[in-house]
Amino acid sequence: MKMLSYGEVNLRFTPPEYQLLEQTNQLTYQITGTGVNLLANLKNFGLETTLLTTLPNNSIGKVARATLRKYGINDQFIRLNGNHMGSYFVEMGYGLRPTVVTYQNRLASAFCQANPASYPIEEAVATSDFVHICGISLLLTEQTRETALKIAATAKKYNKKLYFDFNYRPSLNTQHTKEFIKEQYEKILYSADTVFGGIRDLTELLDIKAPELASELEQLKAVTEIFKEEYHIDTFVGTMRSFEEGKHYLAGFMARGEFQVSSRQSVAILDRIGAGDAYAAGIIFGQTENWGEEKTLEFAVHNAVLAHAIPGDVPHTTVSEVEALMSNKQQSLIR
Amino acid sequence: MKMLSYGEVNLRFTPPEYQLLEQTNQLTYQITGTGVNLLANLKNFGLETTLLTTLPNNSIGKVARATLRKYGINDQFIRLNGNHMGSYFVEMGYGLRPTVVTYQNRLASAFCQANPASYPIEEAVATSDFVHICGISLLLTEQTRETALKIAATAKKYNKKLYFDFNYRPSLNTQHTKEFIKEQYEKILYSADTVFGGIRDLTELLDIKAPELASELEQLKAVTEIFKEEYHIDTFVGTMRSFEEGKHYLAGFMARGEFQVSSRQSVAILDRIGAGDAYAAGIIFGQTENWGEEKTLEFAVHNAVLAHAIPGDVPHTTVSEVEALMSNKQQSLIR
Amino acid sequence: MKMLSYGEVNLRFTPPEYQLLEQTNQLTYQITGTGVNLLANLKNFGLETTLLTTLPNNSIGKVARATLRKYGINDQFIRLNGNHMGSYFVEMGYGLRPTVVTYQNRLASAFCQANPASYPIEEAVATSDFVHICGISLLLTEQTRETALKIAATAKKYNKKLYFDFNYRPSLNTQHTKEFIKEQYEKILYSADTVFGGIRDLTELLDIKAPELASELEQLKAVTEIFKEEYHIDTFVGTMRSFEEGKHYLAGFMARGEFQVSSRQSVAILDRIGAGDAYAAGIIFGQTENWGEEKTLEFAVHNAVLAHAIPGDVPHTTVSEVEALMSNKQQSLIR
Amino acid sequence: MKMLSYGEVNLRFTPPEYQLLEQTNQLTYQITGTGVNLLANLKNFGLETTLLTTLPNNSIGKVARATLRKYGINDQFIRLNGNHMGSYFVEMGYGLRPTVVTYQNRLASAFCQANPASYPIEEAVATSDFVHICGISLLLTEQTRETALKIAATAKKYNKKLYFDFNYRPSLNTQHTKEFIKEQYEKILYSADTVFGGIRDLTELLDIKAPELASELEQLKAVTEIFKEEYHIDTFVGTMRSFEEGKHYLAGFMARGEFQVSSRQSVAILDRIGAGDAYAAGIIFGQTENWGEEKTLEFAVHNAVLAHAIPGDVPHTTVSEVEALMSNKQQSLIR
Amino acid sequence: MKMLSYGEVNLRFTPPEYQLLEQTNQLTYQITGTGVNLLANLKNFGLETTLLTTLPNNSIGKVARATLRKYGINDQFIRLNGNHMGSYFVEMGYGLRPTVVTYQNRLASAFCQANPASYPIEEAVATSDFVHICGISLLLTEQTRETALKIAATAKKYNKKLYFDFNYRPSLNTQHTKEFIKEQYEKILYSADTVFGGIRDLTELLDIKAPELASELEQLKAVTEIFKEEYHIDTFVGTMRSFEEGKHYLAGFMARGEFQVSSRQSVAILDRIGAGDAYAAGIIFGQTENWGEEKTLEFAVHNAVLAHAIPGDVPHTTVSEVEALMSNKQQSLIR
Amino acid sequence: MKMLSYGEVNLRFTPPEYQLLEQTNQLTYQITGTGVNLLANLKNFGLETTLLTTLPNNSIGKVARATLRKYGINDQFIRLNGNHMGSYFVEMGYGLRPTVVTYQNRLASAFCQANPASYPIEEAVATSDFVHICGISLLLTEQTRETALKIAATAKKYNKKLYFDFNYRPSLNTQHTKEFIKEQYEKILYSADTVFGGIRDLTELLDIKAPELASELEQLKAVTEIFKEEYHIDTFVGTMRSFEEGKHYLAGFMARGEFQVSSRQSVAILDRIGAGDAYAAGIIFGQTENWGEEKTLEFAVHNAVLAHAIPGDVPHTTVSEVEALMSNKQQSLIR
């Protein structure tokens, strides 16, 4: 099974030991990105994974490419060009102090400047079994928008299953009207099979009205139903976070046939970023394994629980580690 | 608004990753001190801040002065002289293992050896709006005692609001009788407007008797009333810590008109030191903003909650971060 | 009071800040081992301690020997020979993610290749007050097996109290039948006074049948009674771990006269490894102090609680630290 | 004496211990820039220094501003806006392996996007004694070009001495003809008093013809004479590097009245970057002290020698350190 | 062009900043080995590279495999089995203090325990253009000896060019007579095309007599001639080191047709290990490029010069970096 | 052979990678001191070593004592008392940039406050073969002066060979006249057998006149002769440093019978501090081995050469390492 993902690669800089940037001149850097996180995790689960992206043609781009290989991601469709990679700083939170992410400019990046013609899209899609696109590419530049749409169209043409992740962040869209962005999303949604997102993606971006007075969960169910019908979506999946008496909780939902909800798991947060990608990886893996929805949801949620406890964005979990956690035989030490 | 503080600057050495001193030969150092912590925090809140102190005239003193500038503290009244700065080692606790502080000699420090004549007290006080003195200076040397008293007198003369922090630590007073020390404190208390302290400062140092049989809170209220009347104190402020079922809690009290108590907040402790200074900074800021006592107390307590979750002594919080926490919209991740 | 222990010294490699091995090329190393942990802790408690072991005759062995001296362990019976020391990697867990230990080959180590004739066993035992043997030496090589048995016999001959720790790990026994191993254990058990272990050691290795239908604790009591009688054991001691609603708990038991159980303490886990050795050190110290069983058990459990909160295997606790925790005057900061 | 500089602030990332980027995930970051290096060094020499620049309005910009204060640079004319700061990676060379610098995008930076109207140029220039402009601003964006020219014009208007540094790097000019760039440089040159540069700036950018057949030094003298006359330059200054038998050498030249050359000094290179800025700082300081040209040149060259031996871009030298080196009383240890 | 190498992968541990093991508890680890170094370098030069080896089937083996992918080495013929990887500690020298390497046991490693039947030798050889074998495998275990010989025979059978590196270290041969070892070497030599080695390999292992009274170089020439004739070797290559007045020098020789010697280059040593592998990589690359012997030798020697200046064993050089050094346009800084 | 030394233990703080204090908040600390360095080195050479000192009775003192044990120094005469240990910061030099040492207050240290009655001097001296006193103790406090003199007297009484090291630093003597200090030195000199020092100790402190017009070496010889006669000194030893064309050189001299000078060795300086102690350790070891003066001098100088290339003060050299360097078989790599 071979998963292709189109997505940006970023540099993440993290000060050590929960320090703020102003407290230290030391950083650890990591090669990340939604596509990177997802593929690295799926590779650990046993899939073949390929990233379609552009990296700068300098030592930073070469380090990134080498690191992707280290993650087990195939580098045959990675192109080196330009001289910039988007980067962000992560000041790790603790207790009630939140983790703070500060982005540097990413629009000038090699990825954001690469147009569809620069990629062997036809070949990349044709030789894969599934395709994954992150919605952020619809928000960035004309080039990434066009590339994403062309990949979606090609997936349709070759009849490959298309995974699409909303990842809608209004703040990233600074040049276009919301209507324009909505239109782009709609183009992809009509090609997508499984979509990752939350209630706000449906209500705020797609303007689906949530019925009044219902509980949050009931609202989610209702708008999901409308969404799936209107855009011919096979499966809509997402997470639900809650915070009670100083503890964070996570659950997942999946609307394929019936709307299903996973168990709610308590999460100890070491590194908050990348947990959503771990959840997505869990869902995709469950589907490739043809597990039922219940097992798939549980696997995805437990994978996300582990991802919260791993430093950095990339969820370095394996199937057996997730299953050990699911089996409830909690061990604090494995020799 | 301009706050002047008279206080010692210290070197703090911390082994990494919760290690004990005997487990590593690596240390991080930080420039700290009650005045430093308070002023750095108030600068972040938008006040102008100035420290009146003496640093050694060598590379350590110069690093300290440069770091104070980095914190945004004005260095115009910092004098370089001598060759020693007090230092302490912090072995960070975890869970039920307490944080342990080990002091090296501080009496030989440039600060402790500097007499009042070496400071431009008149100018420093006259050009400020508020003055802050830490009670530790009454316990150290003849020189710091005299300097503190002269500053308090000058604040009175120029009609500047005086903040005084008890910080009474019997262990630091090794050469004088308790009576002598009490007398020094009393001299300052008669000039002070807002005083930071706790019940033990009033009962053990000032010999105010707590009524029997009352609850702890009732006792505090009672002795506070006596204290305020006897010493003509405008406002008495402090914190109350508790520990229940493995969790630490913090609340604040403020006796200005009526005796008021803040909400009790649970605290996750990353670094215990400096939280009291964060509380004081919150109180002072609330007063400069003319917030009511309730809002001031809540701001101060939530500021202290964040300070527990920041490594090092210095509370690098901003007004918007504290208000976000107060607004109860707890986020684990801010992008 | 002088404790002699026969045991292997290992190199432990730990990546920083909860990272997985694949996330970093940095490691901290530590000199550890059951005997090392136990003796370092007992030295902190005030006993004299001596380790009987073999280290490689190269810079690694010399660093190990120097570090043992740093821990306060007498190095007079440490022999340098060969060129290998067993090592393991520890990837530290967080929250529900377990700590994972990966061993490198240890059978080729200087310790595992050293036969009894290479040690001055007679002298080492005769000049000590107590002797401690870790059961792992029965599982490793012919050489360690013979050495352990000879030491046990010598302890008997000189009438020294013998502490024996089951530490039975079926995975380490790859060349012999379980029956063979059981036989070796039995030889030592007949000489042992105080034995450390758990119910599985008695049921799985020694084939003692646990009565059906009883609670876990009742089962433990029952098999302990049979075990003590059959092998003439004076005291059997061990720990009981539990995990409830996201929290880890620890309690201890001791069957000397009556079967006694300690209070159950909640544990915050920073570093899981070595906590069992801390418990054993607490028991041994309580016995040398002739404390009653209750105080001994409480001291041992609280010592283990602290050990969970100290990085690395070696429990660097002191009597006053443990007693402060027992006294329930929990402090988060000691100045 | 007060020096104003207009220049960009950059983030420099350096892997530890001469490692290549691909060998480690650890970095040290430093706040640098030609203006930063120059001003930090001049502050150490006793001047007052002010930077006119724009930093991003986020935690990176705030850390940069705080660090400039730490260097002793006045932050009153620093504006926070936008979200990007130019950055570069430095892989430190060793022996014959050169140091390699890799730039990330800087044109999108807050500095490059800030137009002249956003700065209080009038006030900044009027309150300074000297003004320094780095030629790189002529190569970057329309905004930086216009700002630089307006500052130069304002310096002329207020009759402030203008220092100008060619820093001509053809690679940075990607959108304009060389003729356009030359024109911009010429505009500033006509306002400049002291100019820093080398022979290639004069021949390649300004198209001054070097006479044939002369030695390199004679060529430099000849084109310098033409340059000074044509552009009415008071003083032209620069360095000459050479490499012989595995050793690097540095000398300086200064054409004010007569063309003068300093002694040639051997340099041990720890960190190559920033040495040119140290040379410039030495020249400026010598001029403010009204030293003769000979002493000024020697001071500048020796300052640059020390700067090669200090890690990072910023030359943290003091007058007494440079003079100690000049006095030839070489000490390997100062207590 | 595709190079296959059969060789062991090792863990290298290095204390930071020239410290001795006893001075620190911090280490950096690196994945190395003669084959690894060679292939990583050749990949950088543009060749495809594949390693035939066995790694332990645990997190250490998986990190090693991931790191090989990071180096650009194909992992398709890497097998995971067993639980041990050979390791060594490197205490870095400085000035006249030599670098010291301390090996831990390697005979128990997954590589040393893997027999020829466990490898797809036929397929690996058939799909490559060249094959490289390191002589150390003849000294380790029966399994590595047999595997090496079978690979050599297969290379012959498929008519692939065979590179063989003596790497004869008498200390590694502890179980067999020198005669036995010589016999094994001879078996391979008869299949080898290009052989890497030095005069001592020929005189001490192969018992070729060096003529008396000649200079060292003349002796080398003479024994090389005999060696080439006797074993039908196409090309014999190696290095010559010298040390004069505190400086280290390196030259290379190559006996294909005529005996040729490269220029002698001075080397600044940052990390001594891996320089020989860099030399070999340079020779192999020159041959695949069909450069003449002179250019090949110069390229190889300059590559080795750079490798001395790179931390760690692996020579991360590129063709353009080596050619820049050869072109004599030495730069200390590349932007 | 058992060497007793009386001397202060210090904390040394060093920023990493040649950084200045103002460039980093990271430090490495080391336990050092003239006596510590000397004894640690002699222990490595095979002698038994004991330090007579006082350390603070807190976690710093305990770490220091543990570290001394790690160095192999006997801790039986180390007393814990007080709360301060003298410390200094070392900013490591590079090339022509000198290493800079900044001391914090040491007069308040546990060592400086400990009087002779607090030490078991009689027992310590009686059970040793040699005694070593560092002259710094004559400059510090009344307590250290009296202790040093009492130890010297006791050494005389028990007829133990006394080593005395001038270490005269006028800057440390701030309370007494030079005459007073000279008197104290003279008291010890009359008891000393072997004295370490230089020409300035004899001319500046002891007022011995150097003959005019002679060469430096002739002057040294002349004053040495006078010194030895006047104070009945058996052996006077010291080093001579020189700096030529960018290189540092070291030689040693020894006046026992005839005045002898060692070979002059070039030194590559990694860490300048502690080299003098290494030289002294070499001399003492040569004498205990009864080597002739020539071999002793060469051993001591080569030991000092190695010590310059070891980070930190403590010279971790062994006899075989020094002899390998002396044998001129320079190796850059030892496997």
Q: Do C23 and A312 touch (CB under 8 A)?
A: yes
Kindly report the three-state secondary structure assignment for every residue of A12-60: EEECCCCCCHHHCCEEEEEEECHHHHHHHHHHHCCCEEEEEEEECCCHH
- Chain E: give the shortest CA distance to residue C64, in Å: 9
State the average pLDDT over residues A163-180. Answer: 89
Written as six digits, the tokens of B186 are: 């009393």
Nearest-angstrom CA–CA distance, F84 and B85:
13
The per-residue pLDDT for F330 is 65
The yes-or-no verdict on residue A191 having pLDDT over 90 is: yes
Residue count (chain E): 335
- Chain B: give the shortest CA distance to residue F57, in Å: 10
Q: Do D67 and B72 touch (CB under 8 A)?
A: no
Instruction: Report the mean per-residue pLDDT for chain E.
Output: 95
Residues of F in contact with D305 (CB under 8 A): 95-96
Instruction: Report the mean per-residue pLDDT for chain F.
Output: 95
State the average pLDDT over residues E81-104. Answer: 96
Written as six digits, the tokens of D194 are: 């002291």
Can you name the residues that pair with A236 across neighbouring β-strands?
A195, A255
Q: Do F107 and B108 touch (CB under 8 A)?
A: yes
The yes-or-no verdict on residue D328 having pLDDT over 90 is: no
The per-residue pLDDT for A294 is 97
Q: Where are the beta strands (DSSP E) in B33-97?
A: 48-55, 78-80, 87-91
The per-residue pLDDT for C250 is 97
The per-residue pLDDT for D161 is 97
State the average pLDDT over residues B208-235. Answer: 92
Written as six digits, the tokens of B35 are: 């005045």
State the average pLDDT over residues B180-198. Answer: 96
| Integer Rg of chain B from CA | 19
Q: Do C306 and B101 touch (CB under 8 A)?
A: no
Cα A263 from chain centre: 21
Cα D258 from chain centre: 24
Nearest-angstrom CA–CA distance, D47 and D3:
7
The beta-carbon neighbor of C105 closest among E28, E84, E100 is E84
Q: Do D268 and F103 touch (CB under 8 A)?
A: no
HSE-up of residue E218 (Cα within 13 Å, Cβ side):
5
Nearest CA in chain C to A316: C20
User: Which residues are CB-contacts of C282 (< 8 A; sequence separation ≥ 6)?
Assistant: C296, C299, C300, C301, C302, C303, C304, C322
Nearest CA in chain D to E306: D97
The model's pLDDT over F7-22, given as tens digits with 9 standing for 90+, comes to 999 999 999 999 999 9
Kindly report the three-state secondary structure assignment for every residue of chain A: CEEEEECCCEEEEECCCCCCHHHCCEEEEEEECHHHHHHHHHHHCCCEEEEEEEECCCHHHHHHHHHHHHCCCECCCEEECCCCCCEEEEECCECCECEEEEECCCCCCCCCCCCHHHCCHHHHHHCCCEEEEEHHHHCCCHHHHHHHHHHHHHHHHCCCEEEEECCCCHHHCCCCCHHHHHHHHHHHHCCCCEEECCHHHHHHHCCCCCCCCCCHHHHHHHHHHHHHHHHCCCEEEEEEEEEECCEEEEEEEEECCCEEECCCEEECCCCCCCHHHHHHHHHHHHHHCCCCHHHHHHHHHHHHHHHHCCCCCCCCCCHHHHHHHHCCCCCCEEC
Handedness of CA F84, F85, F86, F90 (dihedral sign): negative
Residue count (chain B): 335
Nearest CA in chain A to E65: A70
The per-residue pLDDT for F123 is 98
Nearest CA in chain B to E26: B24
The model's pLDDT over B39-68, given as tens digits with 9 standing for 90+, comes to 999 999 999 999 999 999 999 999 999 999
Nearest CA in chain A to E66: A70
> What is the SS3 assignment for B133?
strand
- Number of Cβ pairs closer than 8 Å across A and B? 68
Q: Do D311 and F23 touch (CB under 8 A)?
A: yes
The model's pLDDT over C193-208, given as tens digits with 9 standing for 90+, comes to 999 999 999 999 999 9
Q: Do C334 and B101 touch (CB under 8 A)?
A: yes
**CA angle, residues F72, F76, F78, in degrees to nearest 5:** 95
pTM: 0.97
- Number of Cβ pairs closer than 8 Å across A and D? 80
Which chain C residues have any C-beta within 8 angstroms of a chain F C-beta? 66-67, 69-72
Which chain D residues have any C-beta within 8 angstroms of a chain B C-beta? 66-67, 69-72
State the average pLDDT over residues A119-148. Answer: 97
Q: Do B67 and D69 touch (CB under 8 A)?
A: no
The beta-carbon neighbor of C332 closest among B17, B98, B103 is B98
The model's pLDDT over C278-300, given as tens digits with 9 standing for 90+, comes to 999 999 999 999 999 999 999 99
Q: Which chains have at least 3 CB atom pairs separated by less than 8 Å from chain A?
A: B, C, D, E, F
The model's pLDDT over E111-143, given as tens digits with 9 standing for 90+, comes to 999 999 999 999 999 999 999 999 999 999 999
Nearest-angstrom CA–CA distance, C284 and C37:
13
The per-residue pLDDT for B169 is 87
HSE-up of residue E252 (Cα within 13 Å, Cβ side):
29
User: Which residues are CB-contacts of E129 (< 8 A; sequence separation ≥ 6)?
Assistant: E1, E2, E3, E160, E161
Of the candidates E260, E243, E335, E245, the residue with the CA atom closest to the CA atom of residue E300: E260
Q: CB–CB of F84/F111 below 8 Å?
A: no
The yes-or-no verdict on residue E330 having pLDDT over 80 is: no
The model's pLDDT over D172-197, given as tens digits with 9 standing for 90+, comes to 877 889 999 999 999 999 999 999 99
The model's pLDDT over D198-209, given as tens digits with 9 standing for 90+, comes to 999 999 999 999
Nearest CA in chain F to D309: F94
The per-residue pLDDT for C174 is 76
Nearest CA in chain C to F58: C335
Q: Do F312 and E169 touch (CB under 8 A)?
A: no
The yes-or-no verdict on residue B329 having pLDDT over 80 is: no
- Chain D: give the shortest CA distance to residue E228, in Å: 35
How far CA E154 is from CA of A119, E5, E188, in Å, comes to: 41, 13, 11
Residues of B in contact with F14 (CB under 8 A): none
- Number of Cβ pairs closer than 8 Å across A and F? 6
Q: CB–CB of E48/E1 below 8 Å?
A: yes
The yes-or-no verdict on residue D26 having pLDDT over 70 is: yes
Can you name the residues that pair with B194 across neighbouring β-strands?
B163, B235
Q: A172 pLDDT band (50/70/90 cuts)? A: confident
Residues of E in contact with F16 (CB under 8 A): 16-17
Pairing of strands B265-267, B247-255: antiparallel
| pLDDT above 70 coverage of chain A, percent | 99
Nearest CA in chain C to B244: C330
- Chain B: give the shortest CA distance to residue F135, in Å: 22
The per-residue pLDDT for A330 is 65
The beta-carbon neighbor of E305 closest among D96, D169, D248 is D96
Residues of B in contact with E23 (CB under 8 A): 25
| pLDDT above 70 coverage of chain D, percent | 99
Put residue F74 in one of left, alpha, beta given phi > 0 → left and psi -120 to 50 → alpha. beta
Of the candidates E196, E191, E210, the residue with the CA atom closest to the CA atom of residue E166: E196
Nearest-angstrom CA–CA distance, A31 and A53:
13
Residue indicated by tokens 């002898």: F260
Which DSSP string do the residues of F180-247 spell out, in sequence order? HHHHHHHHHHTT-SEEE--HHIIIIIS-PPPPSSS-HHHHHHHHHHHHHHHHT-SEEEEEEEEEETTE
Least confident of C152-166, E167-181, E265-279: E167-181
Nearest CA in chain B to D72: B66
How far CA E152 is from CA of E140, E148, E161, in Å, comes to: 17, 6, 10
Handedness of CA F314, F320, F326, F331 (dihedral sign): negative
Of the candidates F296, F293, F295, F303, the residue with the CA atom closest to the CA atom of residue F324: F303
Q: Which residue would you say has higher pLDDT here, B172 or E116?
A: E116
- Listing from the earlier edge strand, what are the strands of the sheet with B87-91? C333-334, B99-103, B87-91, B10-14, B26-32, F26-32, F10-14, F87-91, F99-103, D333-334
Q: Do A59 and D22 touch (CB under 8 A)?
A: yes
Which chain F residues have any C-beta within 8 angstroms of a chain B C-beta? 13, 20-22, 25-30, 58-60, 62-63, 66, 83-85, 87, 89, 91, 100, 102-105, 107-109
Nearest CA in chain E to F31: E23
HSE-up of residue A149 (Cα within 13 Å, Cβ side):
16
**CA angle, residues A236, A242, A246, in degrees to nearest 5:** 160
The model's pLDDT over D1-17, given as tens digits with 9 standing for 90+, comes to 999 999 999 999 999 99
Q: CB–CB of C72/E91 below 8 Å?
A: no
Q: CB–CB of F64/F53 below 8 Å?
A: no
Which one of E12, E24, E87, E96 makes the best mutation probe of the F interface by having the most chain F beta carbons within 10 Å?
E96
The beta-carbon neighbor of A332 closest among C16, C17, C99 is C99
State the average pLDDT over residues C57-61. Answer: 97
The yes-or-no verdict on residue E91 having pLDDT over 70 is: yes
Pairing of strands F247-255, F259-261: antiparallel
Residues of A in contact with D107 (CB under 8 A): 108
Residue indicated by tokens 């050359």: D261
Residues of C in contact with E29 (CB under 8 A): 13, 25-27
Nearest-angstrom CA–CA distance, A46 and A291:
15
Amino acid identity, position E80:
L
The per-residue pLDDT for B70 is 98
Least confident of B72-76, B82-86, E173-177: E173-177
Residues of C in contact with B17 (CB under 8 A): 16-17, 311
Q: Do E332 and D98 touch (CB under 8 A)?
A: yes
The per-residue pLDDT for C329 is 67
Q: CB–CB of E191/E162 below 8 Å?
A: yes
User: Which residues are CB-contacts of A162 (< 8 A; sequence separation ≥ 6)?
Assistant: A130, A131, A132, A133, A152, A155, A156, A191, A192, A193, A194
User: Which residues are CB-contacts of D117 (< 8 A; sequence separation ≥ 6)?
Assistant: none
Amino acid identity, position C94:
Y
Q: Which residue would you say has higher pLDDT here, F247 or F237?
A: F237
Amino acid identity, position A122:
E
Residues of A in contact with C23 (CB under 8 A): 30, 311-312, 316
Residues of A in contact with D99 (CB under 8 A): none
Residue indicated by tokens 């886990």: C269
Q: CB–CB of B83/B58 below 8 Å?
A: yes
Which one of F81, F99, F105 makes the best mutation probe of the B interface by having the most chain B beta carbons within 10 Å?
F105
Of the candidates C274, C270, C335, the residue with the CA atom closest to the CA atom of residue C303: C274
Of the candidates D224, D250, D226, the residue with the CA atom closest to the CA atom of residue D237: D224
The yes-or-no verdict on residue D325 having pLDDT over 70 is: yes
